[in-house]
Structure 1
């Protein structure tokens, strides 16, 4: 069953969030928040107070690297230009790669790195070329080795959190000096193609320490 709290983002061709040496640094993909309701939720705050973020998405990818998902933008509290791209960021969601939609996670400290995982058949074979509704979660985690973020895909039906990636650098550089903002994002990196990419989102939920 499709969720009811759906909102959309449409990304034009040539939009992306990606940073690769020696010179590529692109941050022009559109972002959005869930529509304001009677109880608007907090979607930005101190990094050390962040606990988790959750988002569901669905779209019909056509071009290589078509993508949508959850974006965490990290900025120093001392940064004076909030319109500039964030110093660090994390995105996770679905991306079309090698001819199939896959779960994609990118973490960018100084430069970006990227990992992909296959979608289960029930999602990747959705009718009409859609990816099927997929839910991702980014969650703060502390163990005997330290503190980091874990990225999960939530299994349809069982609700099991399927681990995708641990990101360890996030809290390594004075977390009290940083803020994080949570958004939904969409991008169509391919240039010279016709039309934009529209991604449906629902269920954006962000949790903070009190």
Structure 2
């Protein structure tokens, strides 16, 4: 069961919470991110808390993220990472990112290089976001949703994320925080809260 898989940290010091924990916080240092851009920029030093298991088992994950977002590119949300045999990683991150003075719903996916898309947050409580990742069982693709009340708004389909022809690939699923830009003097440290983390695996 998903609740029995231990949490692991990446790029973060401390003892991970128990496997059954569903709410936690992460505080990043300045200058950390997950980002990839030609011709040679590869950044993968943002703090993460995740569970690792065969990608063929993934069905759904969900969490609510919130913080006092104040500085350009402050961010936090969910990660879906696919370690490769050659030591590289393909990855997806989706959550809130502070840009042009306001929080946006931000999604980035990276195979060889990364792309980036932004969508508006809710007018009420824009600093809070519930996200869901889910496998489309018919097509074998990964869908990303924003959850608002009883509604799920689809914001991205990643067609290659779950492709595993040999049935041997692993994935990391969890949460992350990033802070590429230094805060102005007097601005509080970024503390990102996550609650109601859910992970559902297939039989």
5 Å matches for 1:95-110?
A: 95-110=97-112
Following TM superposition, by how much is the alpha carbon of 1:192 offset from its aligned partner in structure 2, in angstroms?
7.3
| Local SS of the residue matching 2:27 | strand
Following TM superposition, by how much is the alpha carbon of 1:104 offset from its aligned partner in structure 2, in angstroms?
0.7
Following TM superposition, by how much is the alpha carbon of 1:196 offset from its aligned partner in structure 2, in angstroms?
3.8
Hey, what's the Cα distance between the residues in 1 that align with 2:103 and 2:66?
A: 11
Q: Over residues 128-177 of structure 1, what are the superposed CA-to-partner deviations in whole Å (9 max), with x where a residue is unaligned?
A: xxx1x32100111144xx3211100100xx32111111111113453613
| Local SS of the residue matching 2:30 | coil
Q: Following superposition, which runs of at least 4 residues in structure 1 exceed 3 angstroms of deviation? A: 191-196
Aligned residue among 52, 65, 89 for 1:57: 65
Contact 1:13 1:193 in 2 (8 A): no
Contact 2:24 2:195 in 1 (8 A): yes
> 1:10 aligned to 2:27?
yes
Query: Higher relative contact order by CA 8 Å / sep ≥ 6: 1 or 2?
Result: 1
**Unaligned residue ranges in structure 2 (runs of 5+):** 1-20
Hey, what's the Cα distance between the residues in 1 that align with 2:65 and 2:106?
A: 13
Contact 2:22 2:198 in 1 (8 A): no
Change (3 A) 1:49 1:99: same
Cα-Cα RMSD: 2.1
**Residues paired across the two proteins, number:** 181
Aligned residue among 180, 185, 198 for 2:176: 185
**Unaligned residue ranges in structure 1 (runs of 5+):** 34-42, 125-130
Give the structure 1 partner of residue 133 of structure 2: 138
Mean Cα displacement is larger for which, 4-13 or 106-115?
4-13
